[in-house]
Amino acid sequence: MLAALRQRRFALLWSGQSLSAVGNRMFPVILAVVVLDRHSGAMALGLVLAVQSVAMVAGTALAAAVVDRCSRRALMLGADLVRALGVAALAHGPDAAVLPLVVAIAMAEGLFQPAYAALVPRVLPAEHLQAGNSLTSLSQYAALITGPSLAGAVIAAAGTTPALWIDVATFAGSLATLLLIHETPPAQAAPAAPPTRAASGAPRRPWSAGQAAADVAEAAREVANRPWLAASMGASTLVMAFAVAPMILLAPIVADARLGGPRAYGAAFTALGAGAILGALIASRIRTRRPGLPAVAGLLAIAGALLSLAVLPLPGVLVLWGVAGAGITVFEVLWTTAVQRDVPDGVLGRVMALDWLGSETLTPLGYLLAGAAVTSYGTGPPLLAAACAVVLAAPLPLLVRGGAAFTNRPRAPSAPATGPLTGRVR
């Protein structure tokens, strides 16, 4: 992974993204306290969180329409600026401003993530993409641990206003690093493919609502033309909606019923984050012509985490949640690297946005179904059903052409290796 950090532009991009990730993880904790402190009550908090989810989906949909039509760096700059100003306004704004500010902040986050994933190949050589994606996952999951803890500590010591300003500083820091980055357009890397043309080579028409729909349809065709990509996107979307969402929903219920309450719940997510950090280190060292195999194995680890909630004591839960965290990260790193290498630059941002959009759209349904199932059957049957969903959905990429290799193209012969884990770092 150190080789990727020696690339100055990526080092700046990753540093800013790491700050932004901390801000993202701080914000939900601060937002909940702000809403409750203003005597809005649990119903108002539920409304705010629901609106936040819908706005993030809207931001991702916007990304699908525009991310490949303009500078990805500029989109990220705009998203960081909106989030910094929005959080700053939330610190001193009236109660009536909370909902529109949350909408703006969430839409900016939905726009930021696909733009980041599509920008990485423009600032990092192809041979370092896997290491760079491992670093991204590492920082995301480190933020999952540090962001809420930092927000809680600052709120406890000084209140929500200082916590909001620290959050502003994270987005401002990310914005500052982006200002120092030069984005290399595809025309400089490959003169035969000017950025004014679509992935198919056809001249790109001026933007309009109809053309935006055509652009998204083009991205969908790129996905459909790669059976491994369509199957892996479908598998990860199903797992997120019908396994990860129930796991998140049921964890505090099970923890309160038999594992020891909120402290056990917090320990489980700490184990998940710690495992994910370890998974990022492992993923950076995987060298194989069939990355789909370890990626699918990583997704399958989620089934163990679900079953642990049903039957194991807290130590067993922590171990299997740590393994699941590692597995999720291995999948994310190998899948993202494969997409960045296999999908043309001119459509990459839209493909990434479609993946985010699928997960974000179905995940609320997963929460609703899991909640209804718990009400009717208790925690055991929904956990078992979610584990079965993982076992059925995760292997889907291996059933189609290119699924094991995560590409439709034949791979060039490489130097002999002793196995998937060689200990080499790019």
Report residue 214 as tokens: 């055509």
Residue 189 falls within a domain, yes or no? no
Residues 77 and 160 in one domain: yes
Out of 146-155, 231-240, 308-317, 318-327, which region has the weakest mean confidence (pLDDT)? Answer: 146-155
Q: What is the arithmetic mean of pLDDT over 203-208?
A: 55
Residues 145 and 231 in one domain: no
Residues 264 and 305 in one domain: yes
> Is residue 145 very low, low, confident or very high in pLDDT (cuts 50, 70, 90)?
confident
Q: What is the reported pLDDT for 87?
A: 94
For residue 311, the enclosing domain spans 215-409
Residue 253 falls within a domain, yes or no? yes
Residues 178 and 223 in one domain: no
Residues 387 and 260 in one domain: yes
Q: What is the reported pLDDT for 189?
A: 43
Q: What is the reported pLDDT for 186?
A: 61
Residues 141 and 229 in one domain: no
**Residue 203: strand, helix, or coil:** strand
Residues 168 and 67 in one domain: yes
Residues 103 and 21 in one domain: yes
Q: Give the pLDDT confidence of 322-367 residue by residue, as tens digits.
A: 999 999 999 999 999 999 888 888 888 889 888 888 877 788 788 8
CB 238 within 8 A of CB 358: no
How far is Cα 201 from Cα 193, in angstroms, rounded to an integer? 7
Nearest residue to 258 via CA among 199, 309, 185: 309
**Residue 181: strand, helix, or coil:** coil
Residue 392 falls within a domain, yes or no? yes
Final residue of a structural domain among 139, 158, 182 = 182
CA distances from 297 to 34, 291, 327, 393, 394 (A): 41, 10, 7, 12, 8
Phi, psi of 411 (to 5 degrees): -85, 145
Residue 421 falls within a domain, yes or no? no
Out of 89-98, 221-230, 305-314, which region has the weakest mean confidence (pLDDT)? Answer: 89-98
Report residue 4 as tokens: 């990727």
Q: What is the reported pLDDT for 414?
A: 42
Residue 194 falls within a domain, yes or no? no
Final residue of a structural domain among 128, 157, 182 = 182
Q: Give the pLDDT confidence of 262-287 residue by residue, as tens digits.
A: 788 878 888 998 999 999 999 988 88
The total domain count for the chain is: 2
Q: Give the pLDDT confidence of 22-36 residue by residue, as tens digits.
A: 988 888 888 888 887
Residue-wise DSSP of 3-66:
HHHTSHHHHHHHHHHHHHHHHHHHHHHHHHHHHHHTT-HHHHHHHHHHHHHHHHHHHHHHHHHH
Distance separating the N- and C-terminal Cα atoms of the chain: 6
Final residue of a structural domain among 127, 161, 182 = 182
> Hey, which residues does 203 pair with through a beta bridge?
197
Residue 203 falls within a domain, yes or no? no
pLDDT of residue 203 exceeding 50: no
Residues 111 and 260 in one domain: no
Residues 127 and 220 in one domain: no
Nearest residue to 167 via CA among 34, 339, 307: 34
Residues 159 and 280 in one domain: no
Q: Give the pLDDT confidence of 172-202 residue by residue, as tens digits.
A: 999 999 999 988 766 544 433 334 344 444 4
Residue 195 falls within a domain, yes or no? no
Residues 307 and 178 in one domain: no
pLDDT of residue 426 exceeding 50: no
Question: Considering the chain, what percentage of its residues have pLDDT values greater than 70?
Answer: 88
Nearest residue to 349 via CA among 75, 67, 57: 67
How far is Cα 150 from Cα 148, in angstroms, rounded to an integer? 5
> Is residue 416 very low, low, confident or very high in pLDDT (cuts 50, 70, 90)?
very low
The CATH number for 40's domain is 1.20.1250.20
Residue 316 falls within a domain, yes or no? yes
How far is Cα 185 from Cα 174, in angstroms, rounded to an integer? 21
pLDDT of residue 227 exceeding 70: yes
Phi, psi of 37 (to 5 degrees): -65, -25
Q: What is the arithmetic mean of pLDDT over 394-405?
A: 92
> Hey, which residues does 272 pair with through a beta bridge?
none
